Structure 1
Amino acid sequence: MTDIFQVQPHDHVFLGPDHERAERRTWAVIVLCSVMMIAEIIGGALFGSLALIADGLHMSTHAGALLLAALAYTYARKYADDRNFTFGTGKFGDLAGYSSAIILAMIALLIGYEAVSRLLNPIPISFNEAIPIAVLGLVVNVASVWLLSGGHHHGHSHGHAHGHGHDHDEQPRRITLGRGILEIEVFEDNVPPRFRIRTGTTLLPAASDITIETIRPDGRHQHFTFEARDGYLESRDEIPEPHAFVARVRLMQEGQNLEHELQFEEHDHGQDHGQDHGNGAHHRDNNMRAAVIHVLADAGVSVLVIAGLLMARAFGWLWMDPLAGLIGAVVIANWSFGLLRDTGGILLDRMPDPRMAEKVRKVIETEGDRVTDLHLWRLGPGHLGAIVSVATTGPHEAAHYRQRLAGFADLSHVTVEVQHASSANG
């Protein structure tokens, strides 16, 4: 007999928790770059400055690369519920990141070619015109980095400053509700432990519309109600130790009573139950990463160019300007390679975290059962998919193993296949 159970088969929204904020900030940077582009081209035409026009055209390529990121965010959000995308649209950002990496590689080659050409055949430089333009470009890039950096900041800490033997750095448990995600965590950062509920892409529910009932291994039950705080909900009562229980979340949404079960477990330091603490590869928003790298690359080149121009003007070292460009090309090429490697692996469904796979295997095999097949891949920022085949001689069905895997907050789409002894032996 084979029993198959899939977690939340009705929902395939695997976007990052900051998706909409990242989208808005990317469009804001595009507007900034477009305004600068138009101003430089018009100013260059009015004042007869070819350098100003050239920098305006360069700014247009900058805005174009960011447009790719913004369109990926918009398209992924717009079609998040389209069932034609079997595992959702969470990979659109990685596809855009891969494309941006190719563009960055081409830019690095062009800068490198131009730098070598100028080293071999130096040309006169209009310092009084070039230096202010480079400074202006740097200012725009710094402003762009500042805007983009807010797009992938969660706005709250996952870290905890305790030393009493728990793994307090694990990710909040997630509940997907249509287009939104609720994040539920046991928060105890220098305060008594309480449940906190936050949201990344939807409005917080009213405090009166949600309750949590904890069920401990010894059968004890405890009910928690909530109060609204500044941007989150917090349970009125403290959570007693140990923090090992099933949390039954009941939520009233659009006239419907919804119920979800989450598993919380105590862990020692160093046993993160497969969590990557929000900084691991499968939590990265590679679309935002590509946009930030593009802007940082431009800012880095601007700094090098300014330094090269100043030294060339001060000491007559015309070779400093192309040398700075060559160094910038090498740096951009290195960033491009890293982005290509990471996004390419995701697009090809490469194993995102071997440690996670091993811990999933250990959790399933604690009672003598055996994992015969395990597939783990990334669905979107902070979302992993898993297919697990389990061979067992016991009576457990798929729901039992689903409950065991509920402690992994990053497993957003899990299919469990159970092969009992009768079927395994034919």
Structure 2
Amino acid sequence: MGAHDHFHGHAQGGGHSHAAHAGAGERRLLIAAALTGIFMLAEVVGGLLSGSLALIADAGHMLTDFAGLALAWYGLRLARRPADWRRTFGYDRFTVLVAFANGLALFAITGWIAVEAVSRLAAPAPVLAGPMLWIALAGLAVNIAAFAVLSGGERNLNMRAALLHVIGDLLGSVAAIAAALVILFTGWTAADPILSLAVAALILRSAWRVVAESGHILLEGTPEGLDPRVVAEDLAGVPGVARIGHLHLWSISEGRPMATLEATPAAPDRAEAAVRAIKDRLAERHAIHHATVEIVAAAKAGESADG
């Protein structure tokens, strides 16, 4: 037997179901992107006419969201492409890149909102509360529709990032409505930038989680719920295996964990059986369906125990 045993490709089964989920997710993202893009234009006009920072900030956020939803849609389409000789793991990780980019975009937009809000607090500007209220109410309706479309889909990292954009828009509309009502009944225009800051803080907290999770995958960190020490100890107990070393766990994308490791079989002539037993154990107990196992002779294993 050769020095390496590789098991490439996706886990068997569920291919049709995965494609159906991806197709449904694409449609949901496309609808949400269309709703967001169309209403974004209305908010820009309304914000300029009314002088409302909350509306302009929400329109700017919706522009980022439109781009984010479009990217998420494209990410799902690209992820469906089969692996080829240049990208042997396929295009799954593109959806993680999209989620990471969307999270960074949310950081940028919240920073812009914060700067504008502080500027408005320092130099208050007049706000037409009536038009602002009606546009914000219409925006709320659009965002609720987009939220309903997306929330019924699969909750992978890419879809969660897209949904986060829509939730941010929804909160922005709620803040704009609240600010409009306060200004309408009290004339206190500071409510507009203050509520904009509150929404920015909520968006920032959620954006950090998306960036952290997607960044962890991009850095090939250990998948959530897996501990290399526990997995190594478990594999060491597989019949026919004398030693496990250099175990690495990471993910190509959310829900697609991978493993590489060295294994020393208990008997040299049982190497193939040991590899199969290791892969079966990884799949059955740890939901890892793609593993690369290198067989290491006992003498070499002893020499590299601390390597």
When normalised by structure 2's length, the TM-score is 0.82
Contact 2:50 / 2:132 at 8 angstroms: preserved in 1? no
Taking the aligned partners of 1:117 and 1:342, their CA distance within structure 2 comes to 33
Cα deviation digits, residues 188-220 of structure 1 (max 9, x gap): xxxxxxxxxxxxxxxxxxxxxxxxxxxxxxxxx
Contact 1:2 / 1:419 at 8 angstroms: preserved in 2? no
Please tell me whether residue 343 in structure 1 is matched to residue 214 in structure 2: yes
Return the letter of the residue paired with 1:149. S
Please tell me whether residue 405 in structure 1 is matched to residue 278 in structure 2: no
Choose which of 77, 87, 112 in structure 2 pairs with 1:74. 77
Q: What secondary structure does 1:122 align onto?
A: coil
Contact 1:108 / 1:329 at 8 angstroms: preserved in 2? yes
Cα deviation digits, residues 240-271 of structure 1 (max 9, x gap): xxxxxxxxxxxxxxxxxxxxxxxxxxxxxxxx
Contact 2:282 / 2:289 at 8 angstroms: preserved in 1? no
Q: What's 1:300 paired with?
A: 171
Please tell me whether residue 319 in structure 1 is matched to residue 196 in structure 2: no
Return the letter of the residue paired with 2:23. E
Residues 103, 57 of structure 1: alpha-carbon distance in 2 compared, 3 angstrom cutoff:
closer
Choose which of 225, 232, 247 in structure 2 pairs with 1:361. 232
Q: What's 2:109 paired with?
A: 107
- Shift of the alpha carbon at 1:23? 1.6
- Shift of the alpha carbon at 1:92? 0.8
Count how many residue pairs are aligned between Structure 1 and Structure 2.
Answer: 289
Taking the aligned partners of 1:119 and 1:411, their CA distance within structure 2 comes to 53
Residues 286, 105 of structure 1: alpha-carbon distance in 2 compared, 3 angstrom cutoff:
same
Unaligned runs of 5+ in 2: none
Q: What secondary structure does 2:35 align onto?
A: helix
Q: What's 1:22 paired with?
A: 25
Q: What's 1:118 paired with?
A: 120
Pairs within 5 Å for 1:22-421: 22-37=25-40, 40=42, 49=49, 59-77=62-80, 79-152=81-154, 285-353=156-224, 355-366=226-237, 367=239, 369-395=242-268, 396-397=270-271, 398-408=275-285, 410-421=287-298
Cα deviation digits, residues 95-118 of structure 1 (max 9, x gap): 001111111011101111111111
Deviates more, 1:315-324 or 1:55-64: 55-64
Q: What secondary structure does 1:363 align onto?
A: helix
Contact 1:2 / 1:420 at 8 angstroms: preserved in 2? no
More helix by share: 2
Cα deviation digits, residues 9-64 of structure 1 (max 9, x gap): 255999993322212210111222234346x389x59xx95769967676444322
Alignment identity in percent?
Answer: 30
Taking the aligned partners of 1:96 and 1:425, their CA distance within structure 2 comes to 44
Q: What secondary structure does 1:370 align onto?
A: strand
Cα deviation digits, residues 120-154 of structure 1 (max 9, x gap): 1111110110011111111111111111112216x
Residues 85, 403 of structure 1: alpha-carbon distance in 2 compared, 3 angstrom cutoff:
same
Residues 129, 58 of structure 1: alpha-carbon distance in 2 compared, 3 angstrom cutoff:
farther
What is the Cα-based RMSD across aligned positions, in Å? Answer: 3.1
- Shift of the alpha carbon at 1:91? 0.9
Cα deviation digits, residues 46-96 of structure 1 (max 9, x gap): xx957699676764443222111111111222x333331132211111100
Taking the aligned partners of 1:143 and 1:51, their CA distance within structure 2 comes to 26
Return the letter of the residue paired with 2:133. I
Q: What's 1:216 paired with?
A: none
Cα deviation digits, residues 319-341 of structure 1 (max 9, x gap): 11111011111112222222211
Unaligned runs of 5+ in 1: 154-284
Contact 2:51 / 2:125 at 8 angstroms: preserved in 1? no
Taking the aligned partners of 1:96 and 1:306, their CA distance within structure 2 comes to 31
Contact 2:75 / 2:98 at 8 angstroms: preserved in 1? yes
Residues 299, 22 of structure 1: alpha-carbon distance in 2 compared, 3 angstrom cutoff:
same
Cα deviation digits, residues 134-189 of structure 1 (max 9, x gap): 11111111111111112216xxxxxxxxxxxxxxxxxxxxxxxxxxxxxxxxxxxx
Contact 1:2 / 1:423 at 8 angstroms: preserved in 2? no
Return the letter of the residue paired with 1:317. W
Q: What secondary structure does 2:226 align onto?
A: helix
